[in-house]
Amino acid sequence: MSDYQQKVSGSFNERMRLIRLRRKKENLRFWDEFRIVPRGLIWTMVALFLLAQGIAFSVNQWQFNHTGEIFAPELRDTPILSYLALAGVVTAVWLVMVTFIFLIAYVNRDAKRRGMNSTLWTLLVVVLLPASTFIGFLIYFLMREPLPYDCPQCGKAVGARFNFCPNCKCNLHPSCPNCKREVVETDKFCPYCAYELGTPAPSSAALSTVPNSSL
Ligand SMILES: [Zn+2]
Ligand SMILES: [Zn+2]
């Protein structure tokens, strides 16, 4: 394997490792995540919704009174249905628009709190939006850095890439002494080889019988 290939696959493995770390440490809930969308933006969108409904209603009524034309002409006999249909269309358009705007706002805020370049990522999802709709968001959700979390020993915020806490030297990615795979601090037994964690490392004789598997 050439040096270049090795480097590329190395960075790919590092990327997969980060994705795994994220899955392990991040327990994201939709509504908690939604809260990072700025309040002002949410209220602006609500106001826009009411305004759009008001305008659609007024225009429809004005047309009906002056020209006899009404939205969805087949509902002419029951104008209330026409108004409801129009309100439904306005709501649908608003929902699609608001989904994208909130997603863009989320990417912007989320990238910032993950220490990523938020301007660049926001631009990327916006630029890819007309051509490929969700691809930009997909790339973002696959590529985003794991969230910083609190050191389990001293509580100081640590980056997900850190192996040791810079404040208290706590081992942030403890591995099973038997099979060398990564385990979580709270595991009592290794999920890969059932080795009892918290007991001293096995003798070198026992170790040599178990093939070391790399992460
Ligand atoms: Zn610490
Ligand atoms: Zn193990």
C-alpha of residue 131 to centroid of ligand 1, in Å:
45
User: Considering the chain, what is the average pLDDT of its residues?
Assistant: 82
Helix (H) or strand (E) segment spanning residue 115:
none
Angle between helices 135-143 and 118-132 (to 10 degrees): 140
CA dist 150 and 165 (Å) reads 9
C-alpha of residue 162 to centroid of ligand 1, in Å:
11
Share of the chain above pLDDT 70, in %: 82
Which ligand has its closest atom nearest to the C-alpha of 172?
Answer: 1
Which ligand has its closest atom nearest to the C-alpha of 193?
Answer: 2
CA dist 75 and 59 (Å) reads 16
Q: Which residue has the higher pLDDT, 4 or 84?
A: 84
CA dist 171 and 162 (Å) reads 9
Share of the chain above pLDDT 90, in %: 34
C-alpha of residue 189 to centroid of ligand 2, in Å:
8
CA distances from 176 to 21, 90, 173 (A): 16, 57, 10
C-alpha of residue 114 to centroid of ligand 1, in Å:
19
E strands, the chain, are 149-150, 157-158
CA distances from 121 to 108, 139, 160 (A): 7, 10, 20
Question: Is residue 199 over pLDDT 60?
Answer: no
The pLDDT, as a whole number, for residue 174 is: 84
C-alpha of residue 172 to centroid of ligand 1, in Å:
8
C-alpha of residue 183 to centroid of ligand 2, in Å:
8
The pLDDT, as a whole number, for residue 1 is: 52
Question: Is residue 180 over pLDDT 70?
Answer: yes
Lowest pLDDT segment from 70-79, 116-125, 201-210: 201-210
Which ligand has its closest atom nearest to the C-alpha of 187?
Answer: 2
Does the pTM of the predicted model rise above 0.75?
no
Chain centroid to CA 4: 31
CA dist 188 and 195 (Å) reads 9
The pLDDT, as a whole number, for residue 206 is: 42
- Per-residue pLDDT reduced to its tens digit, 52-92: 999 999 998 898 888 878 888 888 788 888 889 999 999 99
C-alpha of residue 153 to centroid of ligand 2, in Å:
22
C-alpha of residue 141 to centroid of ligand 1, in Å:
28
Q: Amino acid letter at 171?
A: N
Question: Is residue 204 over pLDDT 50?
Answer: no
- Per-residue pLDDT reduced to its tens digit, 150-177: 888 898 888 877 889 999 998 888 888 8
Question: Is residue 17 over pLDDT 80?
Answer: no
Q: Amino acid letter at 149?
A: Y
Which residue matches tokens 């805020």? Answer: 109
C-alpha of residue 26 to centroid of ligand 1, in Å:
18
Cross-strand bridge partners of residue 189: 196
| CB of 136 closer than 8 Å to CB of 129 | yes
Question: Is residue 193 over pLDDT 80?
Answer: yes
